[in-house]
Amino acid sequence: MGVSIRGWRKTLIIALFILPTILGVTLLSLYPIGYNIFISLTNRSRFYMQAPANIWECVPKTPRFYCWNEPLLGNYIELFGPLLEGAALLAWLRFGLLFLPLIITNWLVSRTKKQSLSPPDTWWWWLVSMAASVAMWYVADVQGALNVLMRANDFFVVMFRTCLYVAACIPLFFIVGLIIALILNNDEIKNKGAWRTLLIFPWAVPSYITALIWQFFFRTEQGLFNQVLRSVGVANPPAWLQVDVWAFAAVVIINLWLSYPFFMTIILGALQSIPADQYEAADVDGATWWQKLKNITLPLLRPAVMPAIVLSSISTFQMFNTVYLVTDGGPIRGAGQPGATEFVMIYGYKTLLRGDRYADAGAFAMVIFILLFAATLFSLRMTRITKGAYE
Query: By CB under 8 A, is residue 279 in contact with another protein?
Result: yes
Using DSSP's 3-state secondary structure scheme, residue 68 falls into strand
Judged by CB under 8 A, the stretch of 68-76, 113-121, 236-244, 310-318 that binds another protein is 310-318
Minimum Å distance from CB 19 to another protein?
Answer: 9
Minimum Å distance from CB 228 to another protein?
Answer: 7
Query: By CB under 8 A, is residue 363 in contact with another protein?
Result: no
Query: By CB under 8 A, is residue 298 in contact with another protein?
Result: no
Query: By CB under 8 A, is residue 160 in contact with another protein?
Result: no
Query: By CB under 8 A, is residue 378 in contact with another protein?
Result: no
**Beta carbons of 303 and 383 less than 8 angstroms apart:** yes
Residue from 8, 17, 56, 290 in contact with another protein (CB under 8 A):
17
**Can you tell me the distance from the alpha carbon of 353 to that of 343, in angstroms, rounded to the nearest whole number?**
14
Beta strands in the chain (DSSP E): none
Minimum Å distance from CB 241 to another protein?
Answer: 14
Query: By CB under 8 A, is residue 52 in contact with another protein?
Result: no
Minimum Å distance from CB 22 to another protein?
Answer: 7
Minimum Å distance from CB 80 to another protein?
Answer: 18
| Interactions with another protein, residue window 311-350 (CB under 8 A) | 311, 314, 318, 320-321, 344-345, 348-349
Residue from 80, 125, 137, 203 in contact with another protein (CB under 8 A):
203
Query: By CB under 8 A, is residue 234 in contact with another protein?
Result: no
Query: By CB under 8 A, is residue 225 in contact with another protein?
Result: no
**Beta carbons of 142 and 98 less than 8 angstroms apart:** yes
Q: How many CA atoms lie within 13 A of 184 on its CB side?
A: 26
# binding residues, another protein (CB under 8 A): 105
Closest CA to 120 of 128, 109, 131: 109
**Can you tell me the distance from the alpha carbon of 19 to that of 22, in angstroms, rounded to the nearest whole number?**
5
Closest CA to 133 of 162, 105, 163: 105
For residue 197, with 0-12 CB atoms within 10 Å meaning exposed, 13-18 middle and 19 or more buried, which class applies? exposed
Longest C-alpha distance within the chain, in Å? 81
